[in-house]
Structure 1
Amino acid sequence: MSVRQAHDDTTGAKKIVGLKNCLGFRKLPFVAENLEKIRELLMLEASAVERAAGRLKAADADNAVRLLVGCAGKVVVLGVGKSGVIAQKIAQTMTSTGTVAIYLHPSDALHGSLGVVTSGDVIIALSNSGETDEIIAILPALKARKVPIISIVGNLASTLARESDVALDASVDREACPL
């Protein structure tokens, strides 16, 4: 059975993917018919990366790098939701390059796991709004531990950006996906 036939015949498609209760498979668009949409999405993302590079201030980049290079402890990366998924990836990538790094979910930090953060650590906090309740709630405890905070935010006027030692601009003009 061809991919096109599988697309047109949900029974065949279900056999190919091995799912018995595959709902909505027929609604999955055939990729060849959406090539232009895929190209537009890639161009949108490339443009967003180019604008982000243009917004990056040398002093902020330098300060963030100095904090990370001078980190005597570990890098603790925070985020909730999609920012949390990205935070996990950042921590994993840092670990794979030899940097001691962990992901800490801010909700877990609020319920006892904040003890993992010690002096000598550096925090990287990700939040599009910069107002994520769980992150804002742990800022006083992080400040009390005197750990430097690097934030990556979509709003430089936010609480998180203002409370950070370094705030990096991750704002976008338009989301590629409305979800």
Structure 2
Amino acid sequence: MSRIGKLPVEIPEKVKVDFDGTTLKINGPKGELSRDIHELIDLEINDEEIIIKRNGESKDDRSLHGMTRSLIEGMVTGVVEGYSKQLEMVGVGYNASMQGKSLKIEAGYSHPVVIEPSENIEFEVEKNKITVKGIDKQQVGNVAAQVRAVREPEPYKGKGIKYIDERIRRKEGKTG
């Protein structure tokens, strides 16, 4: 049995869970998320917890068991607390600003790069730090990766856009 999959997912007081057999909808103070649940997985919903059960013992059943539980726990955490990723801009002349709801990045190109947020994503800019916030963990990670891809950090001077906790492995330059 999956060690992660057998753990129940606790439902906080402010969260409402609805399951119609194929789609799980979770409402909370920050918003609503929905996800299709694979037919090899069954859900048992009580007032205070969600129990994830699998139909069989095949390799697919076992692999979906823990993953489904992790996805559901991420949904519950997202609608209650939300997720955020912070990025830092390093380099002379690199800056970011808000243009309405979109993010405008000047990172050494001849033109500024504008990133439009999807429906559940917000940007915050403070000096050289960019914060991506949202309720869907996967969406927040994807948008943060898009922002980082505008100018990935280079190993010689360390210039570029990096995650706050990312450590850039530096290379030694040419020796004369």
TM-score range (shorter-chain normalised) is under 0.3
Decide which structure has greater helix share: 1
TM-score, structure 1 normalization:
0.25
